Chains A and B, each alone.
Chain A
Amino acid sequence: MIRVEKVSKYFGDLRAVDDLSLEIEKNQFVALLGPNGAGKTTLIEMIEGIQKPTSGTISIKGMNWNRHRDALYRILGVSLQETQFMDKITVEEIMRLFSSFYGLASSRTEEVLEMVDLESKRKTYTVNLSGGQRQRLALGVALIHNPEILLLDEPTTGLDPHARREVWKILLELKSTGTTLILTTHYMEEAQALCERILIMFDGRIQTQGTLREILNRHGCWELIEFRTEKPCRSEWFDTLPGFLTIESNLTKEGNIHRTRIQLKDIAAAMPSFWKIVTERNLRIEDMECRKMNLDDLFVSLTGRHLEASDENEDG
């Protein structure tokens, strides 16, 4: 459906996307996950035809932006990051405007308003919509012509959890219609909830990709014990634990409290030995968490940065 081959994009000296290749199948829901500045927006805007690659090629259903612009506009639905509609125009008027670009009947506007649950807001000026309603309007505009491929750039950024879930619900309903979806996000749970395929981007490259389980297994994402102690811990105390993988000790220090994280194959198997060491070393544990590793942990191990704690600047 979508083929990206050896695509690079430079803005002056800044390399936003670096020799990136990618293939996306029909009806796949794909998340481009990464912090701001990772190159997600640049990549998706090149697929949308808004930006031209410095090098490499992009083809969508065998077509490209140089030759098949009009045909591509009709199969792609786009929601850009931070689009603001005209303030004193109503929801219905915006929908009608965009449907006119595709030569659609007004009945389609009604269908889409229902789909994005904005029927009751049809006469509301866009300036008076909440953040979630604006995002649903942007989604409605993207869906107006019933596109085969939906490209959404951070569709839920800045929304509260409830509003975010409302957008997810609409997107999940599209799954059964055969739509192909690519969305960029820096919310790990969004990628997990919506997409069967996740691409983790950092520094203009895809660091890893696959289903969530594939990624976690491939990168040896096992289990974690995180705990905080008054005394600092030394790495060598724990490297004899059964199934021990890595340890990061004294991660943060809050007053006299030290945080330590141990990566293991199986927490249950290691737990008796763990408590033995704690007792022998007379470590007073303030709090402790045992869990499976998630995407965020993986992201930290791949890039050294947290996904959601990344800066809020414009994506390169």
Chain B
Amino acid sequence: MRYSLLQLTFIHLKEFVRQPAVFFWGFLFPVAMAWVLGVAFSNQSEPIHRIGILVESKSDSPTAVQWVQEALDKQNQLDVELVPMTSEEAIKAVKKGEIQLYLENSFTATSDWIFHFDPRNKEAERSYLYLKSFMMDLSDQVDSPNTVRPRFTLQEFQSIGTRYIDFLVPGMIGMGIMNSCLWGMGYGLVELRIRKLLRRMVASPMKKWEFLFGYFLSRLAATCLESAFLFGFVFIYFDSTVTGSWPALLAVFLSGNCAFAGLAVFLASRTDNSRVGNGLINTATLPMMILSGVFFSYRNFPEWCIHIIQMLPLTRLVDSLRGIFNLAYTMNDCLSSIVVMLSTGLVFSLLGLKVFRWH
């Protein structure tokens, strides 16, 4: 190898390892993420497929449920959790994203099964294929000439609010708000500090609160436009609607923006290194993007961490938006989330401003 090439390689490598923050984001953070996602959530004793099974009332213990449950137990299928529910409860659970699929049969025979789900939802389709193959295997093992092979019928979700797109759009809007605030405002502040423009601006009578509030308003305008554009598209193309209260939607939207703007100020409060800023914002956004139920339901995560996930600001925001879009949530239904999100924004803003480096 040429000496100069060797020198250049080592110079870049030294520059990299001599920056402890970069070293952390490059080496330790990915390992921590791999541990959280790979080890903690791969616990085989936790169910992966949460599937509704229709019963007439909750107190029933119908043969069909028992048949499937016993069969599951027999084959040690611990990754499937059957949740008996009425038809009304099942639809509600689908709208909330708690389940993506539910099973129905005639309650008199175990052979005719109807799978209710949206085939465009890949997670639901995976659960369907998984359960179907396992039920087929089970019927093959019953060595009796009288055994009727089970028949499977697909019933595609038709009503607005139960489709995957209805689940996805509120998640996308919530994620848009988070990214717009954390990248647009948080990273923007770090960049202004790097350019020394922040330093220049505070060497004038500019009010600091005006500067930050102006930044917040600009991001709010951007998220309004982005969300309206997305909603306009799904309204026209997928006939999506808002079934809940519009004032509640406005309040949730604003409080979500406040929460993430506060977090942005906090994350951007000290650093003047773009790579560190990048790492900090990724640390906040990546786990929430994965855990908070943007693309798939967080109900499939282990029970112990669902409570933690529900405390994340993005989960609060997405759950509230989903409730307003699909479950006709009113202001009262969203009030606790609005208060929590506003408080989150306030606490992080105050913490951030306390240590904020203007110079």
Interface residue ranges, A against B (CB under 8 Å): 48-51, 70, 73-74, 76, 78, 80-86, 98, 101-102, 141
Count A/B pairs, Cβ under 8 Å: 42
A136 to chain B, nearest CB (A): 15
B126 interface residue, CB < 8 Å from A? no
- Among B197, B202, B205, the most chain A Cβ lie within 10 Å of the Cβ of B205
Residues of chain A within 8 A (CB-CB) of B205 are 70, 73-74, 101-102
Q: Are A78 and B200 in contact (CB under 8 A)?
A: yes
B114 to chain A, nearest CB (A): 56
B199 interface residue, CB < 8 Å from A? yes
Residues of chain A within 8 A (CB-CB) of B359 are 50-51
Beta-carbon nearest neighbor of A73 in chain B? B205
Beta-carbon nearest neighbor of B359 in chain A? A50
Residues of chain A within 8 A (CB-CB) of B200 are 78, 80, 83, 141
B172 to chain A, nearest CB (A): 27
Residues of chain A within 8 A (CB-CB) of B203 are 48-50, 73, 76, 78, 80
Residues of chain A within 8 A (CB-CB) of B204 are 73, 78, 98, 101-102
Assuming the contacts A50-B359, A78-B200, asked whether A101 and B195 have C-beta atoms less than 8 A apart, the reply is: no
B13 interface residue, CB < 8 Å from A? no
Residues of chain B within 8 A (CB-CB) of A83 are 195-197, 199-200
1/0 contact string of B11-28 vs chain A (CB within 8 Å) = 000000000000000000
Task: Choose among A48, A82, A102, A141 the residue that contacts B196 (Cβ–Cβ < 8 A).
Answer: A82
Residues of chain A within 8 A (CB-CB) of B201 are 101
Residues of chain A within 8 A (CB-CB) of B197 are 83-86
A271 to chain B, nearest CB (A): 52
B206 interface residue, CB < 8 Å from A? yes
5 additional A-B residue pairs with CB within 8 Å, beyond A86-B195, A86-B197: A80-B200, A82-B196, A83-B199, A101-B204, A141-B200
Residues of chain B within 8 A (CB-CB) of A82 are 196
Closest 3 CB pairs of A and B: A84-B195, A101-B206, A73-B205
CA A80 to CA B206, docked complex, whole Å: 16
B356 to chain A, nearest CB (A): 15
B200 to chain A, nearest CB (A): 5
CA A101 to CA B200, docked complex, whole Å: 12
B side interface size, CB within 8 A: 12
CA A81 to CA B199, docked complex, whole Å: 10
Please name 11 pairs of A and B residues whose Cβ atoms are closer than 8 Å in the assembled complex, sorted by A: A73-B203, A73-B205, A78-B204, A80-B199, A80-B200, A84-B195, A84-B197, A85-B197, A86-B197, A101-B205, A141-B200
Residues of chain A within 8 A (CB-CB) of B206 are 101
1/0 contact string of B175-207 vs chain A (CB within 8 Å) = 000000000000000000001110111111110
Residues of chain B within 8 A (CB-CB) of A73 are 203-205
CA A83 to CA B203, docked complex, whole Å: 12
B339 to chain A, nearest CB (A): 35
Beta-carbon nearest neighbor of A49 in chain B? B203
CA A49 to CA B202, docked complex, whole Å: 10
A157 to chain B, nearest CB (A): 14
Residues of chain B within 8 A (CB-CB) of A141 are 200
Residues of chain B within 8 A (CB-CB) of A84 are 195-197
CA A82 to CA B272, docked complex, whole Å: 15
A186 to chain B, nearest CB (A): 19
Beta-carbon nearest neighbor of B202 in chain A? A50
Residues of chain A within 8 A (CB-CB) of B196 are 80-84
CA A76 to CA B202, docked complex, whole Å: 12
CA A141 to CA B196, docked complex, whole Å: 14
A39 to chain B, nearest CB (A): 17
Question: B199-218: which residues lie under 8 A (CB-CB) from chain A?
Answer: 199-206
Beta-carbon nearest neighbor of B196 in chain A? A83
A27 to chain B, nearest CB (A): 22
Residues of chain B within 8 A (CB-CB) of A81 are 196
Residues of chain A within 8 A (CB-CB) of B202 are 50
Beta-carbon nearest neighbor of A45 in chain B? B359
Task: Choose among A50, A74, A98, A101 the residue that contacts B199 (Cβ–Cβ < 8 A).
Answer: A50
B82 to chain A, nearest CB (A): 56
Beta-carbon nearest neighbor of B188 in chain A? A86
CA A241 to CA B172, docked complex, whole Å: 88
A276 to chain B, nearest CB (A): 54
- Among B195, B196, B201, B203, the most chain A Cβ lie within 10 Å of the Cβ of B203
A184 to chain B, nearest CB (A): 15
CA A117 to CA B207, docked complex, whole Å: 29
Beta-carbon nearest neighbor of B203 in chain A? A78
B338 to chain A, nearest CB (A): 33
CA A76 to CA B195, docked complex, whole Å: 21
